[in-house]
Amino acid sequence: MAEEKKAAAPRKQHYVPQFYLRAFTNQNGQLFVVDAKQKKHFLTSPQNVAAERDFNRVDVEGMDPHALEKALANFEAEIAPAIERVKKEGAFKDAADRIAVVNLICALALRNPRKRENIDGVMEEILQRMMEMALATKERWESQVEQMKAEGVLEESAETDYERLKKMVKEKKYKFRMAKEYQIKLEIDHFNEMLPLFFARRWRIMKARAETGGFVTTDHPVCLLWSKAEDRAGFFGPGYGLPDTDVLFPLSSELGLIGRFDGQEDTVEADFLTVATYNNAVIGHASSQVYSADDQYYYMRKFPQPLGRGYSLLQDPNLKARDDE
């Protein structure tokens, strides 16, 4: 009897889980998507957004390339029922459900394309400075090439022409990319380091009133910001471990979470202006796409501008794709 083949993991892999996005769909199971990069809006299913080909693929000898994707699928299958209970109850009735939600928030804060791109940018800047120093003089470069060849870390066939490399570095005619496997390792290591910081926050659940239009989410749903408006104008950005910071996480069209190191862990009703202000912060953290059940939601705009609406968000001059910045 032929051995049964194991089902392969899909190549299209989500960095925002489909089970989470379904909490923002309409009665037909579709999302209203505003895409700041493509300058259009459309209806689609959660399957078609917040995903990249082989986002979680790991190419390491002796390891299943889809091991991480399968592990994440198991992780999501375990926490999805707990999150459904929180959405139904509108509160953390069980400590295990709170644990599930906080784990999801921490995972989504760390595992996304923009985070990987930012790390690549930092490493590219470091490499640029290192190459500029190495190519400061021809003598220094030739000395380093000789040493690298002697240590066996540079092949004899490698490009070592001083003038050509110096020109390439000066004009930045290259693109540095950190190995995805190393990026994934960083995400796993940072998850273990960051999770206690998320648990330490007091999570208030805000329940949107019917007339508010509800909460929205995005392709970068975890939002970190300073609690006080005056701090937002400072030189340094907020950090997940810093006091006087808020972490916003829309849980569904009806529920929005806000985590602080002080305050109460409770459930409160969110009025019209509270939901609009919350949505504005969430939209501002999107990479390029905003998701909602329909186009009837509200978001706050700077005074004296009127409140924004979902159906006109695409025309808002403040809407920008962060991955184009």
> Buried b / exposed e across 199-208, counting CB within 10 Å, b at 16+?
eebebbbbbb
Residue 121 lies in a domain: no
Please tell me the predicted confidence (pLDDT) of residue 1: 40
Residue 150 lies in a domain: no
Rounded CA separation 247/178 (Å)? 28
Residue 94 lies in a domain: yes
Rounded CA separation 270/222 (Å)? 19
What is the chain's Cα-based Rg? 23
Query: Residue 98 is encoded by which pair of tokens?
Result: 């709170």
Q: What is the 3-state secondary structure (H, E, C) of 287-301?
A: CCEEEECCCCCEECC
Tens-of-pLDDT digits for all 325 residues of the chain? Answer: 444 445 556 788 899 999 999 999 999 999 999 999 999 999 999 999 999 998 888 888 888 888 888 888 888 898 999 989 999 999 999 999 999 999 999 999 999 888 878 777 777 787 778 877 888 888 888 888 888 888 877 777 777 888 888 888 787 777 777 788 888 888 888 999 999 999 999 999 999 998 999 999 999 999 999 998 766 656 678 999 999 999 999 999 999 999 999 988 999 999 999 999 999 999 999 999 999 999 999 999 988 889 999 999 999 988 888 764 4
Please tell me the predicted confidence (pLDDT) of residue 230: 64
- Contacts of residue 134, defined as CB under 8 A and 6 or more positions apart, other chains included, come to 140, 141, 144
The pair phi, psi for residue 233, each rounded to 5°, is: -90, 0
Detail the DSSP E strand segments found in the chain: 12-14, 31-35, 40-44, 51-53, 202-208, 217-218, 223-226, 245-250, 255-260, 267-270, 289-292, 298-299, 308-309
Domains identified in the chain, total number:
1
Which residues form the domain of 267?
A: 12-110+201-324
Residue 144 lies in a domain: no
Residue 277 lies in a domain: yes
Please tell me the predicted confidence (pLDDT) of residue 323: 60
Rounded CA separation 68/9 (Å)? 10
Is residue 145 within 8 A of residue 156, CB to CB? The reply is no
Residue 267 lies in a domain: yes
Is residue 307 within 8 A of residue 242, CB to CB? The reply is no
DSSP secondary structure code for residue 5 in this structure: P
Please tell me the predicted confidence (pLDDT) of residue 35: 97
Residue 143 lies in a domain: no
Query: Residue 72 is encoded by which pair of tokens?
Result: 């994440």
Rounded CA separation 296/308 (Å)? 10
* 88 burial level (CB within 10 Å; 0-12, 13-18, 19+): exposed
Residue 75 lies in a domain: yes
Strand partners, 269: 207
Please tell me the predicted confidence (pLDDT) of residue 100: 94
Q: How far apart are the first and last CA of the chain?
A: 57
Q: Are strands 202-208 and 267-270 parallel, antiparallel or unpaired?
A: parallel
